[in-house]
Amino acid sequence: MPNSVLTQSSFDSLTSSQLSQLVISIKHWGKELGFAQIGICDTDLTIEEPKLQQWLDKGYHGEMGYMESHGMMRARPHELHPGTIRVISARMDYLPPEAGFATNLRDPNLAYISRYAGGRDYHKLIRNRLKKLGLMIEEELTRLGVGKPNFRPFVDSAPILERPLADKAGLGWTGKHSLLLNQDAGSWFFLGELLIDLPLPVDIPVSEGCNTCVACIKSCPTNAIVEPYIVDGRRCISYLTIELQGAIPEEFRPLIGNRIYGCDDCQLVCPVNSKSPLTLETDFHTRDPLKQPELLTLFNWSEAEFLKITEGSPIRRIGHKRWLRNIAVALGNAPFSQTIIDTLELKKQTEELDEMVAEHIDWALKQQRFKQGGEVPTVNRKTQRVIRSVEKGLPRDA
Ligand code: B12
Ligand code: SF4
Ligand code: SF4
């Protein structure tokens, strides 16, 4: 007999007090497994469907084909994993100690890497923990004599609307930058879910909001937050440096500054992040070679060095080619330096370069030569504002 048929009927025998006790246990086990918080919601996201469709119709997903390839299944967890009636939504903090945001953004010769990406790739780690949580639930249900649940963990890459689910499950509210915000923890956390066929009582969404604040919208270097709550993915530096396969459109290159992998600016200016806890996972701590590294050091890594140093890190998935593309842009944005020019030229001569990378190196050389003999440029005004905001609002992490 299929598992779901067996479980569906057998869970009917669970009393509401047994289910409530189970929720208490699930939240407790979640903490033991390193999650900061667990919430539970049903699978109804019909309210999100037209918004998702509009976002896709406007082309805001750019080259992220996976965003449209599953149709509305992203908003229908019960279709994605048949039998699902509840989503156990979990969040895990990732802010590493000594984030050094301001010092890193202030020095245009240093590479800025999003603080979620300096340690181990979260996908596998969170999925494994969610699977353990599922097995703990299974064990408890077996003890209660009601059969096995049908569950499946999801993290990020799967076609599911994680942020609206977490919002529904009471883990926080949606900020105007479109990320989930928690009153006590800010936004420096990952989301993951366990889809399950167990009729657990659901949590109540929280009612806080951003009120009149618009700091993230005003500070986004590329004006990617086109309306409150709506991000045009194609303009976001995270998309341009991580998701985009080909050339970075020229209009965005000067705005990217020294951000070579993702961007944190909309979170850096957010007042709710002033209370964010540091991660409890040492695996998410920034690895030494990725702590405020010199752009030139990273640019000189061979492909073998890149693959070795980024092993197990999310950075590895962009590959050496896009790594060089991104750093070339940042080198073009750095103040004039003969060493940078020599390094860029040497790279062009000594390596079998991909055409796309070569074009970015040419662009960087043009920017560098243009600055020769002129004033030494500093970081742009918007970034200066972000730096001041970090120093004032997030002194521990500045
Ligand atoms: C695609 C994607 C991206 C894209 C597009 C971003 C986006 N905002 O959609 C790009 C590559 C740009 C990106 C960037 C980042 N991402 Co991302 N991304 C995703 C992914 C895979 C899907 C998101 C999605 O469905 N977008 C589609 C649009 C339609 O969804 P949406 O923004 O939620 O849109 C809703 C709003 O527009 C809303 N809406 C419309 N009008 C209104 C009005 C009101 C009043 C309200 C409340 C809502 C609302 O309705 C829409 C439909 O639900 C999720 C993981 C997942 N599977 O869900 C991670 C995820 C959202 N990303 C995450 C992170 C950490 C980031 C970055 C911070 C990474 C970085 N440092 O570089 C940046 C932040 C950029 C930003 N401000 O969003 C985390 C967020 C965690 C959190 N605290 O919320 C997630 C959940 C991954 C994870 N598992 O942890 N990301
Ligand atoms: S991550 Fe950066 S580029 Fe993307 S929306 Fe936030 S501030 Fe803008
Ligand atoms: S910066 Fe302000 S508007 Fe943006 S998410 Fe944070 S509180 Fe909301």
Two tokens, residue 65: 């084909």
The amino acid sitting at 130 is L
Residue 166 belongs to some domain of the structure: yes
What atom of ligand 3 comes closest to residue 266's alpha carbon? 1
Taking the CA atoms of the chain, what radius of gyration do you get in angstroms?
Answer: 23
Looking at the structure, tell me whether residues 90 and 139 fall in a common domain: yes
**354 annotated ligand binder:** no
Looking at the structure, tell me whether residues 289 and 319 fall in a common domain: yes
**210 annotated ligand binder:** yes
Residue nearest to atom 6 of ligand 3 (CA): 270
* pLDDT tens figures, 360-393: 999 999 999 999 888 777 789 999 999 999 999 9
Contact 117, 261 (CB under 8 A): yes
* Model pLDDT, residue 163: 97
Residue 210 belongs to some domain of the structure: no
Distance CA 207, CA 51 (A): 20
Distance CA 184, CA 273 (A): 8
Helices (H), the chain: 3-11, 16-32, 49-57, 66-69, 77-80, 101-106, 122-143, 162-168, 215-219, 237-238, 253-256, 265-268, 295-299, 303-309, 319-333, 338-350, 355-371, 381-393
Q: Concatenate the DSSP letters of all residues of 152-197 into one string.
A: EEE-SSSSS-HHHHHHHTTS-EE-TTSSEEBTTTBT-EEEEEEEE-
Q: What residue numbers bound the domain in which 14 lies? A: 3-95+119-196
Give, for all 398 residues of the chain, the pLDDT tens digit: 334 444 445 798 999 999 999 999 999 999 999 999 999 999 999 999 999 999 999 999 999 998 888 878 888 999 989 999 999 999 999 999 999 999 999 999 999 999 999 999 999 999 999 999 999 999 999 999 999 999 999 998 667 999 999 999 999 999 999 999 999 999 999 999 999 999 999 999 999 899 999 999 999 999 999 999 999 999 999 999 999 999 999 999 999 999 999 999 999 999 999 989 999 999 999 999 999 999 999 999 999 999 999 999 999 999 999 999 999 999 999 999 999 999 999 999 987 889 999 999 999 999 999 998 887 777 899 999 999 999 999 999 99
Looking at the structure, tell me whether residues 74 and 159 fall in a common domain: yes
* Model pLDDT, residue 350: 82
Strands 151-154 and 189-196: antiparallel
Distance CA 147, CA 7 (A): 6
Residue 328 belongs to some domain of the structure: yes
Q: For helices 355-371 and 338-350, what crossing angle results, to 10°?
A: 160
Mutation pick for ligand 3 pocket among 167, 212, 214 (CB with most ligand atoms within 8 Å): 214
C-beta of 141 in contact with ligand 1 (< 6 A): no
Distance CA 195, CA 243 (A): 27
Produce one character per residue of 143-157: b if its CB has 16 or more CB atoms within 10 Å, e if not.
Answer: eeebbbbbbbbbbee
- Number of domains the chain is built from: 2
* Model pLDDT, residue 159: 75
The amino acid sitting at 141 is L
Looking at the structure, tell me whether residues 30 and 150 fall in a common domain: yes
Active site residue 354: no
Looking at the structure, tell me whether residues 176 and 303 fall in a common domain: no
Looking at the structure, tell me whether residues 305 and 170 fall in a common domain: no
Two tokens, residue 199: 């009729």
Distance CA 160, CA 366 (A): 43
Residue nearest to atom 8 of ligand 3 (CA): 210
Looking at the structure, tell me whether residues 274 and 182 fall in a common domain: no
Contact 203, 169 (CB under 8 A): yes
Distance CA 217, CA 21 (A): 42
* pLDDT tens figures, 302-348: 999 999 999 999 999 999 999 999 999 999 999 999 999 999 999 99
> How many angstroms does the Cα of residue 210 sit away from the middle of ligand 3?
5
Contact 294, 145 (CB under 8 A): no
Looking at the structure, tell me whether residues 296 and 380 fall in a common domain: yes
Residue 201 belongs to some domain of the structure: no
Looking at the structure, tell me whether residues 162 and 250 fall in a common domain: no
Residue 302 belongs to some domain of the structure: yes
Residue 396 burial (C-beta neighbours within 10 Å; 0-12, 13-18, 19+): exposed
* Model pLDDT, residue 345: 97
Distance CA 74, CA 39 (A): 19
Residue 348 belongs to some domain of the structure: yes
Looking at the structure, tell me whether residues 183 and 233 fall in a common domain: no
Looking at the structure, tell me whether residues 308 and 187 fall in a common domain: no
Cα–Cα nearest to 108, from 393, 382, 379, 380: 379
Looking at the structure, tell me whether residues 21 and 73 fall in a common domain: yes
* Model pLDDT, residue 69: 84
Distance CA 37, CA 14 (A): 25
Residue 112 belongs to some domain of the structure: no
Distance CA 269, CA 102 (A): 11
Residue 209 belongs to some domain of the structure: no
Residue nearest to atom 5 of ligand 3 (CA): 175
